[in-house]
Structure 1
Amino acid sequence: MWANFARSKFFTAGNTTTNRIESNWNQVKILLGHKTRIDKTIAGLVQHQIMITQQIGFVIAQHHSTSPKVRKEWERFVNFMADATCERTASSPSQWKIYCGNQTFRCHDVEWTCTCLLYSSHHLPCRHLMHLACEGHGFKLLPAMAIHDRWSTYQTLEVKNELTAAAEMLQPIVQMSKLRLPKVKLPNDTGAEPEQPLYDYRVMLFPSGTKV
C-alpha cells in the first residue's frame, strides 16, 4: 500500500513501503516454494492460518489461569511496594494517588484503572492497584471487578471455541486443493485421440504428369 491517502482507510499490516512488501513476499516464497500454482498457494496460506489459529488456542488454554506478567507484577508488589503510600484525592473520592519511589500514579477504585504502563498496555492488575486494595481498603484479596473483561476465563473459553471452529471450517479448503480435478472435455469430445490424415507421399513427391 503505497498510497498515503489510503493507508488510514485500509488494513496494511505494516506493508507501507516497497522494501517491507518485498521482504514479506520473500517469506511467502520460502513457505510455499518458488513455483507454486494459485490453488496450491491459497491452500498453503490457509494451512498456515490454521496452524496459527490452533497455536493461539493452545496458548489460550495454557494461560487461561496463569500469566507470567501477572506473576512478575506480584513479585514487584512484594519486593518494591513496601515503602509506597497512597492517599485519596480531594477532588474525587474514587481517585487515589499512589506514591512509589519518585513516581506518582493515579488509580480509580471503582473502575479499577491505573495510569501505569502495564495497565495501559495490557489492562492487567498492576502492583499499584494491589497496593490500593491492600493498604487503601484493607482487602485481603483483589476484587473480581479489578480484572478486565478481556482476561475473563469465560470470555477466553468463548474465544478459544470460536478459533477452533474457524480452524475446522478452513480444513475442507485445504483438503479440496489436494484433490485432482478431472480433465474438462468439450461436448463433442469422445476422449479418443484424433485420427491423423493419410497422405499419398507419391503424389506429394511426384506431381501429376510425372512418371515414376
Structure 2
Amino acid sequence: MSTQPHPDAVTEQPAPATLRALVVYESMFGSTQDVAAAVADGLRAEGVVTELVDVRHAPPAKDATFDLLVVGAPTHAFSLSRPSTRQDAVRQGARPELASTGIREWIGAMGPRDEARGRAAAAFDTRVTKVRSLPKAASTRACHLLARRGYHLVSRPTPFLVHDVKGPLVAGELDHAVTWAREVAQAARRWRTGDADVAAS
C-alpha cells in the first residue's frame, strides 16, 4: 500500500507559535505612551497576546508571563531617564506622579540572567527631531541593559520622533510604530521557532 500523499492533497501547516508580549513604557508628556499603544496594536495584529503597562505599575519581570519584552522610554539628557531628569520634566509641566520611577530602574531590578532564558526583547524611544542621532539614546541604553541580563534582542534600538519635549509626535510615527511592532513580532517568532538567528547589532 502506497504511503505517498495524493498529489492534490493539502498539507496542513502548523499554526504559528503563540507569543505573549509585555510592553512596558515610561512617559512624561504622553508621546511615548501613544507610541507604546501603537506598538501593542502592531503586536496584536500579528496574533501576539499583548499586555501594555505603565512602568509605574509593571510587575517585576520574574513575576510576569511573557516571551517577548518591549520597553519604551523618552530620551532624557541623551539616554534613559534618571530621577533628576524626571524632576526636570516635572518642572516643565509633567505630572509629579509620573516621575516616581523609570525604565532604567525597572530593568535594574531584574534578577539573574537565567530569568531571561528563552525571552526575546526590543526597545524604542522618543526623541526630539533636532537630535535624531544619539549613540547612547534611551533605546540604545535599554537594549544594552537587557542584553546584559540575558535577553535576546530581535530588533535594533528604534527611535520615534517628536517635534518638541512635550510633543506632538511627527506625522506618521504611529503608523511607523505599528509597522515596527509587526516586524518585531515576526522576528521574535522566527527566533522562538528556530527558523532564523535574529539578533540586533
Q: State the TM bucket, normalised to the shorter chain.
A: under 0.3
TM superposition score normalised by structure 2 = 0.24
More helix by share: 1
TM superposition score normalised by structure 1 = 0.23
Q: Which has the larger radius of gyration?
A: 1
